């Protein structure tokens, strides 16, 4: 059985007339009749009840018609996907992500992908599942949203968003009533610490902030993820310095306030991919992200 047998049968079943079906298919009527007989012989059932005056579907023919239409529709869909994949608009991308990108980048990007690349499927991997830099280099990831990596060898990196850091405090803390937190007010306060390996750019920005302000804090606890930081703040163990985007994740009992200092430290969200990646799909996705999040160059 070949696809042409299915197409011929569908045409006859829809027209219920061999002459009209032959015209529709641009083939000779005797050839069409022969193709239908071959199909019925292969299936071992009669699909069409025909005589000189009429053509009608048998019960087997009605069932087979629905299945044949479904098969042809899926074949046509597969052709479209193959063409779109060749043009860089269909397929799957393994995407590395992290909390700030989940909040600041992906919600905007999902709607644009649905509109402009509807046949693209994003497979998201958190940084705890796949370390982004090694994931890109080994091919486990096609692209990755991350903080600016220290080692960019073999990678293309595009800065998308630069965000300020903010202070997360227990809501009952006296400083939570202020609109902004003076940096000097954090002197000797307990701080939820972060290991540098978790986010070197954020760690370095916070360390530089404290050095410049010449204040000392007391590291009382630590967490290896943002939700852990926020929970420790909620429990009243100390304050945390976090990227502004993460205020979207703040639970009840935690208050976020901007810093009152000049300048306020910032950290970046970047998109990275392997240099020389030949995938047209990667290129089209990168171009979509670039157009969405990076401002046009000024002339």
pLDDT digit string (tens) for 187-242? 999 999 888 888 899 999 999 999 999 998 888 877 777 888 889 999 999 999 99
Equal fold, 90-160+268-293 vs 163-267: yes
CATH architecture of 90-160+268-293: 3-Layer(aba) Sandwich (3.40)
Dihedral in degrees, nearest 10, Cα atoms 118, 119, 123, 124: -10
Answer for the pair 48, 36: CB distance below 8 angstroms, yes or no.
yes
- How far apart (Å, rounded) are the C-alpha atoms in residues 61 and 50? 12
Tally helices (H) and strands (E) across the chain: 10, 12
pLDDT tens-place string over residues 122-165: 999 998 778 999 999 999 999 999 999 999 999 999 999 999 99
- CATH annotation of 163-267: 3.40.190.290
- How far apart (Å, rounded) are the C-alpha atoms in residues 84 and 245? 34
In whole angstroms, how far apart are CA 117 and each of 89, 98, 111, 196?
Answer: 5, 23, 10, 37
Answer for the pair 254, 233: CB distance below 8 angstroms, yes or no.
yes
Q: Single out the residue of 235, 216, 232 nearest to residue 224, CA to CA.
A: 232
Mean pLDDT, the chain, rounded, equals 87
The domain spans of the chain are 3-86, 90-160+268-293, 163-267
Q: Single out the residue of 118, 151, 119, 125 nearest to residue 139, CA to CA.
A: 125
Answer for the pair 4, 36: CB distance below 8 angstroms, yes or no.
no
User: How much is the pLDDT for 201?
Assistant: 92
pLDDT tens-place string over residues 84-125: 666 555 588 999 999 999 999 999 999 899 888 888 889 999
Domain 3-86 - what CATH class?
A: mainly alpha
Answer for the pair 89, 287: CB distance below 8 angstroms, yes or no.
no
Q: Where are the alpha helices (DSSP H) in the chain?
A: 3-15, 18-25, 29-43, 59-86, 99-104, 106-116, 132-138, 200-213, 226-234, 280-293
Q: Between helices 59-86 and 3-15, what is the axis angle to 10°? A: 120
Answer for the pair 23, 17: CB distance below 8 angstroms, yes or no.
no
Interstrand relation of 181-182 and 254-260 (parallel, antiparallel or unpaired): parallel
Q: Write down the pTM of the prediction.
A: 0.70
């Amino acid at each position: 059985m070949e696809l042409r047998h299915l197409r011929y049968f569908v045409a006859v079943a829809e027209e219920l007339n061999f002459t009209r079906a032959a015209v529709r298919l641009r083939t000779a009527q005797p050839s069409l009749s022969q193709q239908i007989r071959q199909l019925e012989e292969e299936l071992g059932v009669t699909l069409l009840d025909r005589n000189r005056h009429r053509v009608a579907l048998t019960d087997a023919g009605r069932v087979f018609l629905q299945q044949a239409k479904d098969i042809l529709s899926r074949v046509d869909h597969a052709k479209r996907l193959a063409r779109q994949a060749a043009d860089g608009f269909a397929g799957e991308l393994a995407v590395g992500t992290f909390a700030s990108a989940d909040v600041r980048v992906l919600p905007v990007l999902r709607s644009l992908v649905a509109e402009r690349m509807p046949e693209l499927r994003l497979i998201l991997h958190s940084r705890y599942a796949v370390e982004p830099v090694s994931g890109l280099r080994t091919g486990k990831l096609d692209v990755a949203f991350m903080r600016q990596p220290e080692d960019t060898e073999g990678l293309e990196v595009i800065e998308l968003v630069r965000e300020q850091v903010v202070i997360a405090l227990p809501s009952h803390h006296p400083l939570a009533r202020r609109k902004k937190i003076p940096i000097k007010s954090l002197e000797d306060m307990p701080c939820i610490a972060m290991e540098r390996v978790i986010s070197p750019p954020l760690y370095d920005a916070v360390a530089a902030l404290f050095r410049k302000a010449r204040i000392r804090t007391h590291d009382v606890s630590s967490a290896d993820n943002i939700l852990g930081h926020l929970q420790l703040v909620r429990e009243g163990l100390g304050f945390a310095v976090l990227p502004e985007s993460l205020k979207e994740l703040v639970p009840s009992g935690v208050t976020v306030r901007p810093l009152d200092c000049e300048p306020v430290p910032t950290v970046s969200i970047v998109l990275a991919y392997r240099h020389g990646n030949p995938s047209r799909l990667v290129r089209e996705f990168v171009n979509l992200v670039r157009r969405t999040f990076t401002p046009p160059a000024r002339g």
